Amino acid sequence: MAQQTFIFDGNAGNFAELVRANSDKGPVLVHFWAPYAGPSFKLYGVLEEVAKALAGRFLLVNVNVEKEKALAQEFSIASVPTLKLFRRGDVVETLYGPQPKEDIRRMIERFVPRESDEVMVAALKQYNAGETERCFTALAQAALDDPDNLRIPLTLAKLLVREDRQDDALRLLDSLPREARVDPDVANLHTHLQFMQVALAAPGQSSLEEALEQEDDLAKRHQLAALYLMDDNYQGALDQLFHILQVDRGFRDDLGRRGMLAIFHLLRDQGELVNKYRKKLFRALH
C-alpha cells in the first residue's frame, strides 16, 4: 500500500520499534490486511483520511498478513481487515471488518495524550505518596475541567476499587453522561464492578455448582460466573455467560453478551480462548 506521512508498512523486522516502541509516545493503529480482501482496500481509504485529519497524533501501520504470517499468528488474526490499537506496548482496542470513519477516529482520540493527562499523572504521584484524598480531589477537578478525557474518571474509579470502595466506583461510572457510559472501557469496567459485587454476595462455588446440577437457574449461573472470574477461571466464566446468553438474551440487560465482551477486553481481545468464544458468540447472535 502507498505510504504517506505517519503511514508505514510493518513487518516482523520493524514491528518492535515501529509499533511497540512508538506506542509509548502515542497511539499506533495496526491495520492487518491482505491483497485478496476487497474490504481491506476500502478500509484503507478511510484510515488514510483519519491519518491525514489527525496529522501525526497517531501512527498507522499496515501489515500484509500474506507476507507476515508470523505476526498474523502472534496476534490471532482470523479475518481481514482487523484493526489493533497499541498504547504503551500493548493492544488496547481491537476492531474487526470495515468501520465508519467517525468510530475509528473516536477510538484513537481516546488514547491521544491531552493536557489533563499531566494533571492525572501528578495526581497518581500523590496517590503513590499516600496522599489519597488530595489525589481524588485533583482527579475529580480534572474530570470537571476536561470531561472528554475519560481516562480521568476511569483512573479514579480504579483507584476507588483499590481502596475497597467499589460502590463509590460504580456510582462514579453511573454518573457519567450516557455517551461516556457506552464507551467500551467504561462499560467493561462497570461490568467487572458488577461481577465483583455479585461475587462478594454469592454463596460458595461448590454449593452453586451442586445446585446447578439439580436445576438450571440463571441467577446462580451469574453468581458462579462472577466467582470464576474473580478466580481467573476465564473459560468457566465464559461458559456460564454463554449459557445465559443462549437461554435468555434479556436476562439482566443482556448480561451474557456484556459479560463475555468484558472478559474479551480483559484478555486484550487476543488468544485462543478469546477466538474460540468470540466465534461462538458471533454464531449465537447471527
For 170-189, the pLDDT digits (tens) are 999 999 999 899 888 899 89
Per DSSP bridges, beta strands 82-87 and 28-33 are antiparallel
What secondary structure does DSSP assign to 221-272, as a single string?
HHHHHHHHHHTT-HHHHHHHHHHHHHH-TTTTTTHHHHHHHHHHHHTTT-SH
Q: Which of 190, 196, 270, 277 is nearest to 231 (CA)?
A: 196
Q: Taking the model in full, what pTM does it have?
A: 0.71
- pLDDT at residue 1 above 50? no
Cβ atoms of 95 and 82 within 8 Å: the answer is: yes
Amino acid at 53: A
The CATH class, in words, for 7-109 is alpha beta
Distance CA 22, CA 20 (A): 6
- Compute the average pLDDT of residues 219-237: 97
At 241 the pLDDT is 98
Tens of pLDDT along 43-61? 999 999 999 999 889 999 9
Q: How confident is the model at residue 4 (pLDDT cuts 50, 70, 90)?
A: low
Residue 271 pLDDT level (bands cut at 50, 70, 90):
confident
CATH 1.10.1790 fits 197-285, yes or no: no
Looking only at the bridges linking them, the beta strands covering 28-33 and 7-9 are: unpaired
Which band of pLDDT confidence, cut at 50, 70 and 90, is reported for residue 268? confident
Rounded to an integer, what distance in angstroms lies between the CA atom of residue 197 and that of residue 222?
11
Task: Name the more confident of 183 and 246.
Answer: 246
Do residues 46 and 99 touch, judged by C-beta distance below 8 A?
yes
Residues 74-101 have pLDDT tens digits of 998 989 999 999 999 999 899 999 999 9
* 261: its cell numbers: 465482551
Residue 285: how many other CB atoms lie within 10 Å = 9
Average pLDDT over the chain, rounded to an integer: 94
CA distances from 228 to 207, 235, 241, 279, 280 (A): 13, 8, 11, 21, 19
At residue 5, the pLDDT reads 76
Where in the chain are the domains?
7-109, 115-179, 197-285
Pairing between β-strand 90-96 and β-strand 82-87 as defined by DSSP bridges: antiparallel
Check residue 10 and give its pLDDT. Answer: 98
At residue 168, what is the residue type? D
Distance between the two ends of the chain, CA-based, in angstroms? 33
Structure letter (DSSP) for residue 99: -
Nearest CA-CA partner of 75 in 83, 107, 67: 83
